Structure 1
């Protein structure tokens, strides 16, 4: 009998498969879903889990796939094309929603559904991949100053990019450069690079709208936030005609070859400051470990209805649930 508690939509994608392997490793009952019948059937057979095949616009199919479930993990990007239908399906079925989006509009969409989620008794976290560790580190660092006023965050990605990430990064670039200025979102035309030390000496990072201006504003209310990335987003360095010819993503050996890092600087109103680093598994390994860590919390009844972030729901302690992840205070 099918008694899955978690549904992974977009399971046949590069990161979706990593999420499924982590769920399998933890012996969590789950089912998979997607749009490609052959790919879904093959993965279902390999993992010995139930499967569903449907488009995100098919709400009858969503209802069937989510019946009896507790949590949806949406791994199907670009999320601009999947998140809205998936979120509304979860509201209808009263199933908690998680996704691994790095696209800021999906965070804003989840935020706009806060009251509906509370009425349905479900929690919605958009950005439950990288932003689990990101938000936990921000919450941790913000506690080290009296009245946090300014937040600077930098991400050093390791492990290459999946084809899906290259496609999704277009939606980030198209937004332009956004910051949080005195509590308000503000678009700016230019900003200078900033130097961060990830524990191995100074490294120049580029201004990039990563999503913390939504996510970490929710968890900390810090009114001034700027974000940086050590690399240029992949869509800026990839010929559009070459995207479909890219490999699905880095190999296991490539992912294991290095570490991703986050650096956070928080400055208080009195000029006091704190600087902390997170030493993390490489990008896509981190994503799968993180979203499953949040799903496990939900399955154990540890949740807050409404729109949440990892930091607003769990604080810095969620970092303990991500294997081989460490915070270092400077």
Structure 2
């Protein structure tokens, strides 16, 4: 059986901010990245060839170029948004070439369509399709799955409520984040009475008591792709996600600069904290996770998923899945240390 070092992983959007972190993380884990980008000029100037990293240029509008880019790889990680424009065509190419597909989309419509459209084709092709395996999306799904634990299988009763609170000490968006935000005008969804429904307008605001170093924060409902992932495999009656308002003001301000490196790894000084609270039949469980730099953290998160798929450390057969459905969530989160610290509490 091939080892992880024997298998190549394509990174589509490798010259972007998150893509570069993913390439570096694959190398750190002893895996072999193939840097793929749409812009040949950026690819040539990326520095990848000088580091011995194979590069390939591919256009999302050219199926033949995508086939060439995926030649000889075991999996592809899509870091190139907006994912409403890239996910479908790259996932089709991945299935056509029997390659596992993962992306890091925070976009609800993209994650929803990917799970819905590719469930059957991925199963037939013998590959895994995992959308939204990033900070927004996959992380919250894994955290919720871990905090729920046996609640999702003890009986058929719905979990009464899951509330996700996200606090950032700042949010300096990448150019890709700004482009995606401008184009993603779809109505955001939450889970109410067990069904996906549009988020109420104006979006609800709350005061959330986060653990230190954040403390009490004004927050607003901003559901990301984690809602789509959780709804696919968890029995939830109510699901809502909140983001602290100060970070939302940062990203809405056109004068906010992109992230700046604060160490040799390229990570920024941004700190994040996610609190997941689950309630069922009068019982409450709580999990708090903390780390640094939402863009840089996406790299170990998605690369851990790739590594587990390639070595067969999964709970389900091939198809289109949410990460919480195919991975041992607590074990997965533990493997992310020291990039992520978690604390669990049952009340």
Structures share fold, TM-score greater than 0.5: yes
Q: Distance in 2 between matches of 1:82 and 1:149?
A: 36
SS in 1 for 2:59: coil
Cα deviation for residue 271 of structure 1 reads 2.4
Secondary structure (helix, strand or coil) at the match of 2:240 reads strand
CA contact (8 A) 2:105 2:225 kept: no
Preserved contact between residue 260 and residue 268 of structure 2 (Cα < 8 Å): no
Q: Any unmatched runs of 5+ in structure 2?
A: 1-5
Q: Secondary structure of 2:189's partner?
A: strand
Q: Does 1:135 align with 2:141?
A: yes
1:144–1:274: 8 Å Cα contact kept in structure 2? no
Contact 1:8/1:32, CA 8 A, preserved across alignment: yes
Report how many residues are paired.
321
Deviates further, 310-319 or 6-15 = 310-319
Give SS of 2:61's match.
Answer: coil
Is the Cα–Cα contact under 8 Å of residues 139 and 219 in structure 1 kept in the other structure? no
Please give the secondary structure, in 2, of the residue aligned with 1:70. strand
Shift of 1:127: 0.9
Distance 1:136 1:284, change over 3 A: same
Query: In the alignment, is the contact (CA less than 8 A) between 1:56 and 1:85 conserved in 2?
Result: yes
CA RMSD of aligned residues (A): 2.3
Specify the alignment match of 1:176 in structure 2.
Answer: 187
Instruction: Give the equivalent residue in structure 2 for 1:284.
Output: 295
Aligned-pair distance for 1:171? 4.4
The answer on whether the counterparts of 1:198 and 1:277 sit within 8 Å (CA) in structure 2 is: no
2:40 corresponds to: 37
Aligned to 2:127: 122
Q: Unaligned 5+ residue runs, structure 1?
A: none
Structure 2 equivalent of residue 308 of structure 1:
321
Separation of aligned partners in 2, 1:235 and 1:281: 17
Q: Is 1:322 the counterpart of 2:330 in the alignment?
A: no
- 1:1-330 matches, within 5 Å, as 5-43=8-46, 44-112=48-116, 113-130=118-135, 131-143=137-149, 148-158=159-169, 160-172=172-184, 174-187=185-198, 188-200=200-212, 201-231=215-245, 233=248, 237-239=252-254, 247=258, 249-253=259-263, 255-268=267-280, 270-303=281-314, 304-316=317-329, 317-324=331-338, 325-330=340-345
Instruction: Give the whole-Å Cα distance in 2 for the aligned partners of 1:278 and 1:167.
Output: 28
